[in-house]
Structure formats: C-alpha cells, structure tokens
Amino acid sequence: MATTAASPNVTDADLYLDGIPHERFAELRATPGIAWHPYGDASERGGGFWAVTRHADVKEVSKNAAVFSSALGHTNLWDLEADALEARRSLIDTDGADHVRLRRLIAASFTPRNIRRWEDTVRAITCELLDEFVAAGSGDWVEMVAAPLPIRVILTMLGVPLEDADHLVELSNYLVEGTGEAQSIPADAFGNTTELRLLPFNSPASHALFQYGEKLGDLRRQDPQNDLVTTLVQAEEEGERLSASEYRNLFHLLVFAGNETTRTALSHGAVALADHPGQWRRVLDAEGEERDQFIERAAEEVIRWATPVLHMRRTATQDTVLAGTQIKAGQKVVMWYASANRDDAAFDDPFTFDLGRETNPHFAFGGGGPHLCLGAFLARLEVVVLLQEMARRNLTLRRTSEPVRTPSNFVHGILSVDMAANA
C-alpha cells in the first residue's frame, strides 16, 4: 500500500510561508491506507516516514503508545544520534514508567482546578496588554499581545522575574527559528560551547535557556517560593526522581511549550476574527452568561483553526498495521494534526471558521493518549480570557497587513501581523 515519491511533499518549510498546504493534505487523506513520505537522506532509516493525516488514524497512533513510541528516535521528524537524544530528552520524548514519573511531578500544577487559580493573573496581564494596544490604536498584534501574554503567564507560574521576560521571549524566538531551515545566530551565541546537535532545536538559545533555568533553580533551592521551579527543584532534591538534565529539559519544555504554541493560537485567532467579522459579531451580540458559554466554544474553534503544532512523530516499536498499511518496527510515523483538524470525516465544513461549532473534537492538543498536552487547560484559559476582555472592550480588530509566517513545518507560527483597533 506504500506510495511513492509522487506523494505530495508536506515537509518543505518554505511551503508554510503561504499557510498550511491544505490541498496536499487533502490528497494524502484521500490516499487509501497510509502514504509513505520521502524525507531526508534516503540511507537514513528508510529515508522517510508514514504520513498519518486522517483524524481516526491520528487518534489510533496517539492512543497506542506501546506500539508508537515517543522515546525511540525522537518526536521531531529528523533522527538524532543516541547521545544527542539522551542530552535533549524531555517529558515529551519518554515512554511508559519514565513518562509517568516525569509527568506526575508537574501534572498537579496543570489540573483545571489549579489552573483556575491563575485566572486573575491571566486577566491582569491580558487587560494590561489590551489596554496598551487600544491606546496605541494599531500595531503588530504578535509583538504587542500574542507573544507577551503567554510568556508572561508561564514565567509568572514558573517564578521567573518579569524583567527577564523579554530575554526569554527572544530566546524562544530563536528556538522557533531552529525548527525551520536556518538559524540567524552563530553557534557560539550566548556563550554557547556545546555542539548544536546536543541542544534542543539545534539552537544556541537552548544553552542560554538551560543556563537561565539552572540559575533560577539554584535561587529556589536556597529560597523556596510558591512556584513551579520550586516544585521541580524540590522534586529533584528528593533523590533520583529528577536528574539535573531532566530538570533542565523540563524547564526548557515548559518555557517553549507554554509560550510559542499559545502565541500562535492568539495570533491566528486575531487574524481569523478580523477576517470573519460576522463570527466576532456573534460574540459581541451575546450577553452575560450566554456570552461566556459562547466564548468557551469559540476558544476551541480558535485553537482548532490555528492548530499551532502541525505534527508530532512517533516510531514503531514493532511491525504493525495501520489503516491496512504494513508498518515495520523502527519506521517513523508522523501525525499531522494540521490535516486531522480539517478532516471532513470528523468535522462538518472543516474549512469554515465557525465560533459556534457544537462538536469540536480537534487534535490541536494531540490525539489523546498519555502525551496529551499538559498545558491544555492553561492555553484554553488564556484564549477564553482574551476573547472575554476583547468583547468587554467592544474591541474589533481590522487587519492592516498580511501575516508574516514562520518558515517551519513544525509550528504554524505568525511572526508579525498588523492590526488596527476599533474600540
């Protein structure tokens, strides 16, 4: 059932400069079985991956973690050498008992109940940024709202002082660049002396983030606070539970995962609201509790529409069959959430931005299973609060530039987009 080089290419990062190549994904979804997608060096592990593009198949791969491993190989498209994989391994690249142990250390902080405790913080940050945006009248939405909001929230939760936020946003931007084709900073930036292949996203910015995390960890060891870094270092001090490398990588993952993804949702959300004024009007026309309920739904649609993480990879631990296609042990299996979220087998009119969508089983946070996004409730809260506060200000956005997109096949980022505020 394997198909060939004739399969449409969906990995060229430049393709994404014009948005997700939806027509190519539609073609892959329509291909019977699972399509084989050439990738990288032909000598490398068969030189490609199985492109899982249908909603039902993404769900099956996500849920069957024993067969589709996150620890073997890597969860990104490219392979890593064994030492690099070990150096870079974080929660997201583990299986079974290791995964449970690491996830348990932080899971309690991300339950809906504990996340609701941050609502006032999220609202205060959102209000400040929106008021500044409205006062300015116009500007780059990403720079003024979508980027600072999630990073300030996650840094507050971690216990990072606000004055360091800009530095960490900058580091995070370099990490995103590392998911594309080229890095604009030299290998020794930020005093880095580690080989890039040993660093997440092959980026010297990871070195800077590790160093920052270690410094903050030391501070919290001496002077514990009510924050996530204290939770992590105290867990570390209990002995074998969290190694120095696990702490570093977890800190890195939380900064990156808690930041870039939600920024992308807030950026695409703003573009979609500006481009579909009738949908935003539905929010403004609703009142009181009805508005709040509508916004909960609207937030899910914004997140589906944005699909900030385009794919995640697994590696088959054994020979298996998926959608009638034979998959061999050791082969890469890549779940394209970008495609699953536009699959008409799962969504009515998937290409319609419909804030009132009643059932919305989107996979923006993953297709279920053990690695389902830990920060999903936090991300939802951020989107909901932003929509509530925009509505409260009667703020309508008008797009005044084309979005400049991130050249990446991994994150669906927007680097900048100008908006004018009609409040």
- Cα gap 282→357, rounded to integer Å: 12
Select from 93, 144, 194 the least CA-distant residue to 416: 144
Q: Which is nearer to ligand HEM, 7 or 315 (CB)?
A: 315
- Cα 205–Cα 160–Cα 148 angle in degrees, nearest 5: 70
Say whether residue 309 binds ligand HEM (CB under 6 A).
Answer: yes
**Shortest distance in whole angstroms from residue 227 CB to ligand HEM:** 13
**Shortest distance in whole angstroms from residue 175 CB to ligand HEM:** 14
Question: DSSP assignment of 49-74, as one string?
Answer: EEEE-SHHHHHHHHH-TTTEESSSS-
Binding window for ligand HEM (CB under 6 A); candidates: 40-48, 51-59, 166-174, 367-375: 367-375
Q: Which is nearer to ligand HEM, 69 or 279 (CB)?
A: 69
Select from 30, 52, 21 the least CA-distant residue to 335: 52
Binding mask 224-243 for ligand HEM (x = CB under 6 A): --------------------
Q: Which of residues 85-114 bind ligand HEM (CB under 6 A)?
A: 91-92, 103
Residue 208 carries which side chain, given as an amino acid letter?
A: A
Return the axis-axis angle of helices 277-285 and 288-306, rounded to nearest 10°: 150
Which residue among 379, 395, 397, 419 contacts ligand HEM (CB under 6 A)? 379
Binding window for ligand HEM (CB under 6 A); candidates: 52-60, 131-139, 258-266, 319-327: 258-266
Say whether residue 308 binds ligand HEM (CB under 6 A).
Answer: yes
Angular region, 139: left φ>0, alpha ψ -120 to 50, beta rest: left
Binding window for ligand HEM (CB under 6 A); candidates: 135-143, 267-275, 304-312, 320-328: 304-312
Say whether residue 213 binds ligand HEM (CB under 6 A).
Answer: no
Which residue among 62, 69, 76, 202 contacts ligand HEM (CB under 6 A)? 62
Which residue among 51, 61, 87, 154 contacts ligand HEM (CB under 6 A)? 154
Say whether residue 364 binds ligand HEM (CB under 6 A).
Answer: yes
Phi and psi, residue 250, nearest 5°: -70, -40
Give the residues lining the site for ligand HEM (CB under 6 A): 62, 91-92, 103, 154, 253-254, 257-258, 261-262, 265, 303, 308-309, 312, 364-366, 369, 371-375, 378-379
